[in-house]
Amino acid sequence: MATINREQYNILDRFFRECVRFWEHELKTDSDIDKQPYINAIREIPKYNPYKMQGELIDEETRKHFIKRRYMDCYGKDWERYYKES
């Protein structure tokens, strides 16, 4: 397994959680009972650091690892059926 950048992973996690909250509000639902906010947030995982003006590039292996983990959280053991490289 490739080495992931822990700092960038945490940035992606922070952004992802904020995005899920946004989609819960936008869709007027709760991610505990509806997967759609989670699915929408997965699609929006950035390639650049969203908290920097110049947006440093997120390490691709770290980003892929993060996305795969979110698919696992969302879909469980069938995650690979839904996974698409983003």
Task: Phi first, then psi: give them for residue 48, nearest 5 degrees.
Answer: -125, 155
Q: What is this structure's pTM?
A: 0.91
* pLDDT tens per residue across span 29-50: 999 999 999 999 999 999 999 9
pLDDT (0 to 100) of residue 85 = 61
Residue ranges of the chain with pLDDT lower than 50?
none
Distance CA 67, CA 73 (A): 10
pLDDT (0 to 100) of residue 84 = 73
Return the C-alpha torsion angle 2, 78, 31, 86, nearest 10. 50
